[in-house]
Amino acid sequence: AQSVTQLDSQVPVFEEAPVELRCNYSSSVSVYLFWYVQYPNQGLQLLLKYLSGSTLVKGINGFEAEFNKSQTSFHLRKPSVHISDTAEYFCAVSEGNQGGKLIFGQGTELSVKP
């Protein structure tokens, strides 16, 4: 069965510093990978997704993620964070034979400090 592990529950970082939020998945078939963001008191919104092709995916707000099949990872990165990036970030996976259903990780709380 597929599963998603987000290795860090909380990531504190100073403004303008780089950040990496880690995500690993397990699956025996082809997968599609997503990052969603949940700002305080708001619903989830899609940051980026990997379907096929280039393993480096660029999303909104300057975020990018790299799909690494051999390491079964899909880490999220941003070279310079802002206070407004403070939010909960969720990694998710869907399998090719499971329709559109997403399985989510536990989330990583990114806290950007001035």
Partner 1 sequence: GAGVSQSPSNKVTEKGKDVELRCDPISGHTALYWYRQRLGQGLEFLIYFQGNSAPDKSGLPSDRFSAERTGESVSTLTIQRTQQEDSAVYLCASSLFDGPGNTIYFGEGSWLTVV
Where along the sequence are the contacts to partner 1 (CB under 8 A)?
6, 32, 36, 42-46, 49, 51, 90, 92, 94-107
Indicate the residue among 76 and 107 with the shorter CB distance to partner 1.
107
**Least distance in Å: CB of 16 to partner 1?**
28
Indicate the residue among 97 and 114 with the shorter CB distance to partner 1.
97
**Least distance in Å: CB of 20 to partner 1?**
19
Pick the closest to residue 108 from 26, 56, 35 (CA basis).
35
* 57 vs 48: CA distance, rounded Å: 7
**Least distance in Å: CB of 31 to partner 1?**
8
Pick the closest to residue 36 from 97, 100, 95, 106 (CA basis).
106
CA distances from 78 to 34, 47, 62, 66, 68 (A): 16, 12, 6, 12, 17
Indicate the residue among 21 and 102 with the shorter CB distance to partner 1.
102
